[in-house]
Amino acid sequence: MEKLYLWIAIAPLIGAIIAGLFGKQIGKTGAHIVTIAGVGFSTIASMFVLKYLALDGGEAYNASVYTWAVVGDLKLEVGFLVDNLTAMMMVVVTFVSLMVHIYTIGYMKDDPGYQRFFCYISLFTFSMLMLVMANNFLQLFFGWEAVGLVSYLLIGFWYKRDTAIYANLKAFMVNRVGDFGFLLGIAGVLYFFGSLDYATVFGKVEAFAATNATFDVIAGSEWSAMTVICICLFIGAMGKSAQVPLHVWLPDSMEGPTPISALIHAATMVTAGVFMVARMSPLFEHSETALAFILVIGATTALFMGFLGLVQNDIKRVIAYSTLSQLGYMVVALGSSAYAAGVYHLMTHAFFKALLFLAAGSVIIGMHHEQDMRKMGGLYKYMPITWITCLIGSLALIGTPFFSGYYSKDVVILAAQQADLGMASTYAYYAVLSGVFITALYSFRLFFMVFHSNERFDDHTREHLKESPWVVTLPLILLAIPSVIIAWFTAGDMLFGDFFDGVIFVLPQHDVLNEISHLWKGPVSFGLHALSSPPFYLALAGVVVAWVLYVKRPDIPGMLEKKFKWLHTLFVNKYYFDEFNQALFADGTVKIGKQLWKYGDQKLIDGLMVDGTAKSVGVIASVLRRIQTGQLSTYAFSMIIGLVGFLGWLIYASM
């Protein structure tokens, strides 16, 4: 199996290298063939691995593949840990990536960077696989940074656009902030545990937690070492998984082509943080402070980023803010110690969010690259496959009973309700509960504005409007299927069964999923349970309100906008996070740099140290030059004066 795991990881890399280095020689067709073949192989092999581990009772694999360096007792290695959590992530990453690869054939067919794009998305897949398959913190960090680098290349793929360059630089810089915290967390692990290997570190956690080790973060302030390590690691997750306040890069990532929006938001990059925290559950379980911090951050993101989706008019940005909100739900599950629910929502979300992004891309193709929903409407008559698949994705997103999103999202809400972390738990529960209504409202606002309201496009667009080609619609259909049925076969085992036994660690007092497991009596019974729970009626209310506002009475939103102008302005300006960051960090850093240049470089270094030294040498030289007259009588007089002075000092000293 070791060779198979290695080939799963490197097959997309081989495709990326061929498409990137030999793109001109193999042409467009060759580029998509080699990359799709590589990712396709990884997809099939990953499914085989999941079957082997989950159904056939196969043993998890944990071993080093290559030793990079040895420093004393520390080994820096490349190795794989393939267990049920890894296998599930491998299938999600490769399957969604495969759908995106196929979709890209149609979406990017006329783009001059066709081969380069296939190279990048295949490299993205390789990077994410290396991250999820890692068995040590070093390789985890390699994959972590690699997905950040490739996302930079993909967000700025159309590099001639100033907005794309701004967006990819923003993503890169914001993630550097999170990655600095992540690196500090890894350094803390190495310092206290003496190893970067998962198994070694996790094996020492119980004993280390019992010591209640502390250290000074601020002089005179003792902090729990475990809490500091966990919070630092989670700061890394805040960057990658776009949690408040490090969320600002994700909406701007829409500047990249639509296929990469689907890949970033569904299967790679943003899922890395959620996966990492779940993998590190043995660490996080021993710090309730860190769990409470995670809970508050996730709840804030889930609710307040959902509000912003209500005022967006760009079809892709609505879905982008939906991703932010849903990532918040996943993080709430992690903070509630319902790690299985968090990664399960990650899995179901990957399918329906990729579906929604690719459906949006299909609409954009049909509308000749128009992305403003105010210029759409009535598209169900022209694009029936896109319409029905988008409807399926939207129903899954809002947690409609019997759709996959319901089983994962409802459990997250129940877990938040059962969590026992004081005010943090209460805040999180009401935030995610309120988010259900907001999610339904912005999701069906998009759906009704695009497909069911009055047509708001010109005759030229109408004449050429038609369903997208099969390379676009086939991935939509294949993603719609798991968006509906995947939970029917997996929810019981992954949420309440033994699927993650030995992989995810939860202390008995934190086991919220066990507290709600009595509700699970099969997918049908659990689906019917929705009829007696608040989330179902909140979601239904959101859909009804969206229909009234955007189909029945489309004049009302304008009236509400005028009446609550201050609130609308606040939402449109995204709570002024960008302005704050620009004023404080960007402009502030520039101002500090200018002052350091003016006073530090010019006045201190150049003025005092460099030019000052030269001037001092000149002054001393001018004095010495006057002494060196060349006259013998002057030298004799100086010697006499010196001798008299010396004798006077001797006499004084002897008294």
337-389 pLDDT tens trace: 999 999 999 999 999 999 999 999 999 999 988 899 999 988 999 999 999 99
pLDDT score recorded for residue 229:
94
Bridge partner residues of 75 (DSSP): 70
Q: Is the pLDDT of residue 639 over 90?
A: no
pLDDT score recorded for residue 329:
96
DSSP states of 369-423: S--BGGG---GGGT-HHHHHHHHHHHHHHTT-TTSHHHHHHHHHHHHHHH--STH
Q: What is the DSSP letter of 518?
A: G
- Mean pLDDT confidence for 31-48: 96
Helix/strand/coil (H/E/C) assignment for every residue in 86-111: HHHHHHHHHHHHHHHHHHHHHHCCCC
pLDDT higher at 13 or 453: 13
- Mean pLDDT confidence for 273-285: 95
Residue from 141, 151, 167, 3 nearest 82 by CA:
3
Q: Is the pLDDT of residue 582 over 90?
A: no
Bridge partner residues of 224 (DSSP): 214
- Mean pLDDT confidence for 416-439: 94
Quote the CA–CA distance of 527 and 407 in Å, as a whole number: 8
With beta carbons less than 8 A apart as the criterion, state whether 358 and 475 touch: yes
Quote the CA–CA distance of 78 and 268 in Å, as a whole number: 20
Long-range Cβ pairs for the range 279-283 (8 Å, 24+):
279/85, 279/198, 280/230, 280/233, 281/337, 281/339, 281/504, 281/505, 281/506, 282/202, 282/205, 282/505, 283/189, 283/201, 283/202, 283/205, 283/226, 283/229, 283/230, 283/233
E strand or H helix that includes residue 79: strand 74-82
Q: What is the DSSP letter of 551?
A: I
Please report which confidence band the pLDDT of residue 462 belongs to, taking 50, 70 and 90 as the band edges.
Answer: confident
Largest interatomic CA distance in the chain: 118
Quote the CA–CA distance of 446 and 441 in Å, as a whole number: 9
- Mean pLDDT confidence for 612-619: 82
Q: Is the pLDDT of residue 321 over 90?
A: yes
C-alpha distances in Å from residue 604, one per residue of 573, 612, 619: 42, 9, 19
Quote the CA–CA distance of 285 and 336 in Å, as a whole number: 10
Sign of torsion over alpha carbons 126, 128, 133, 135: positive
Tokens found for residue 135: 């068995």
pLDDT score recorded for residue 385:
95
Quote the CA–CA distance of 257 and 100 in Å, as a whole number: 11
Range scoring the smallest mean pLDDT among 8-17, 158-167, 171-180, 602-611: 602-611
Quote the CA–CA distance of 641 and 164 in Å, as a whole number: 79
Give percent of the chain with pLDDT exceeding 90. Answer: 70
Q: What are phi and psi of 631, to 5 degrees?
A: -100, 130
- Mean pLDDT confidence for 115-124: 94
Q: Is the pLDDT of residue 572 over 80?
A: yes
Q: Which stretches within 194-314 are classed as H helix?
A: 198-211, 225-240, 249-252, 258-266, 270-279, 281-284, 288-309
Q: What is the DSSP letter of 479?
A: H
Quote the CA–CA distance of 429 and 440 in Å, as a whole number: 17
Quote the CA–CA distance of 379 and 449 in Å, as a whole number: 9
Q: Is the pLDDT of residue 103 over 70?
A: yes
Compute, in degrees rounded to 10, the torsion defined by CA atoms 169, 170, 171, 175: 100
User: In a 3-state reduction of DSSP, which class is residue 56?
Assistant: coil
Helix/strand/coil (H/E/C) assignment for every residue in 106-171: HHCCCCCCHHHHHHHHHHHHHHHHHHHHECEHHHHHHHHHHHHHHHHHHHCCCCCCHHHHHHHHHH
Question: Percentage helix, strand, coil, to 5, in the chain?
Answer: 80, 5, 15
Please report which confidence band the pLDDT of residue 454 belongs to, taking 50, 70 and 90 as the band edges.
Answer: confident
Residue from 355, 360, 439 nearest 399 by CA:
439
- Mean pLDDT confidence for 527-540: 93
Tokens found for residue 234: 């989670």
Quote the CA–CA distance of 220 and 328 in Å, as a whole number: 34
> Which pTM was predicted?
0.90
Q: Is the pLDDT of residue 23 over 70?
A: yes
Q: Is the pLDDT of residue 625 over 90?
A: no
Quote the CA–CA distance of 79 and 136 in Å, as a whole number: 7
Average pLDDT, the chain: 91
Asked whether the bond before 557 is cis by omega within 30 degrees of 0, the reply is no
pLDDT score recorded for residue 575:
92
- Mean pLDDT confidence for 52-80: 88
- Mean pLDDT confidence for 545-569: 93
- Mean pLDDT confidence for 24-41: 94
pLDDT higher at 11 or 457: 11
- Mean pLDDT confidence for 41-64: 93
- Could you tell me whether strands 74-82 and 214-218 are parallel, antiparallel, or unpaired per DSSP bridges? unpaired
Amino acid at residue number 601: D
Tokens found for residue 374: 């105010």
Range scoring the smallest mean pLDDT among 140-149, 262-271, 316-325: 262-271
Locus of tokens 């972590």: 144
Please report which confidence band the pLDDT of residue 601 belongs to, taking 50, 70 and 90 as the band edges.
Answer: confident
pLDDT score recorded for residue 219:
67
pLDDT score recorded for residue 339:
95
Residue from 516, 330, 509, 342 nearest 418 by CA:
516
Q: Is the pLDDT of residue 413 over 70?
A: yes
- Mean pLDDT confidence for 280-295: 95
